[in-house]
Amino acid sequence: MLEFILAAVRAAIPAGTPLLYGTLGEVYAERSGVLNLGVEGMMIMGAVSGFAVAQTTGSAGLGILAAAIVGGLLALIHAFASITLRVNQVVSGLALTMLGLGISGMIGKKFVGQPLAARLQPIHIPGLSDLPILGELLFKFDIMVYLGILLVPALWFVLYKTRIGVTLRSVGENPSAADALGVNVAFVRYAAVAFGGMMAGIGGAYLSISYAPAWIEGMTAGAGWIVVALTIFAIWDPRRALLGAYLFGGVRVLQFRLQPLGVSPNLLNMLPFILTILVLWLSSGQAAKRRIGAPAALMTAYSREER
User: Which residues fall within 8 angstroms of residue 294, CB to CB, at 6 or more apart?
Assistant: 30, 232, 236, 287
Q: Which of 126, 182, 262, 285 binds another protein (CB under 8 A)?
A: 262
> DSSP for 2-61?
HHHHHHHHHHHHHHHHHHHHHHHHHHHHHHTT---TTHHHHHHHHHHHHHHHHHHHS-HH
Q: Which is nearer to another protein, 109 or 161 (CB)?
A: 109
291 near another protein, rule: CB under 8 A: no
Examine residue 45 and tell whether it contacts another protein (CB under 8 A): no
**Contact region for another protein (CB under 8 A) — 8-16, 127-135, 160-168, 282-290?**
8-16
DSSP state of 216: -
CA nearest 193: which of 291, 92, 307, 294? 92
What minimum distance in Å lies between the beta carbon of 77 and another protein? Answer: 9
- Residue 270 binding another protein, by CB under 8 A: no
Q: How far is the CB of 140 from another protein (least distance, A)?
A: 9
Q: Is 274 in the site for another protein (CB under 8 A)?
A: no
Neighbour-count burial of 223, counting CB atoms closer than 10 A to its CB (0-12 exposed, 13-18 middle, 19+ buried): buried
CB of 1 to another protein, least distance (A): 12
User: Contact between 256 and another protein (CB under 8 A)?
Assistant: yes
4 contacts another protein (rule: CB under 8 A)? yes
Q: Which is nearer to another protein, 93 or 238 (CB)?
A: 93
Residue 34 binds to another protein (criterion: CB under 8 A): no
Q: If you write DSSP's letter for every residue of 59-118 in order, what string do you get? A: -HHHHHHHHHHHHHHHHHHHHIIIIIS---HHHHHHHHHHHHHHHHHHHTGGGTTPPPSS
Distances (CA, A) of 58 to 23, 78, 216: 28, 31, 19
Region from 19-27, 91-99, 164-172, 196-204 binding another protein, contact rule CB under 8 A: 91-99
> Interface with another protein includes 56 (CB under 8 A)?
no
CA distance 70 to 136: 34
Using an 8 Å Cβ cutoff, are 21 and 148 in contact?
yes
Judge whether 132 and 74 are in contact, CB under 8 Å: no
d(CA 89, CA 37) in angstroms, rounded, equals 8
**What residues from 207 to 236 belong to the interface with another protein (CB under 8 A)?**
207, 211-214, 216-217, 219
Q: Are 280 and 229 in contact (CB under 8 A)?
A: yes
**Residue 1 binds to another protein (criterion: CB under 8 A):** no
Which of these segments, 6-14, 174-182, 191-199, 280-288, binds another protein (CB under 8 A)?
6-14
Q: Which of residues 107-136 bind another protein (CB under 8 A)?
A: 109-115
**What is the size of the binding site for another protein (CB under 8 A)?**
49
**Residue with smaller CB distance to another protein, 87 or 183:** 87
Query: Which residues here bind another protein, judged by CB under 8 A?
Result: 3-4, 7-8, 11, 15, 81, 85-87, 91-92, 95-96, 98-103, 105-106, 109-115, 207, 211-214, 216-217, 219, 252-253, 255-257, 259-260, 262, 264-266, 269
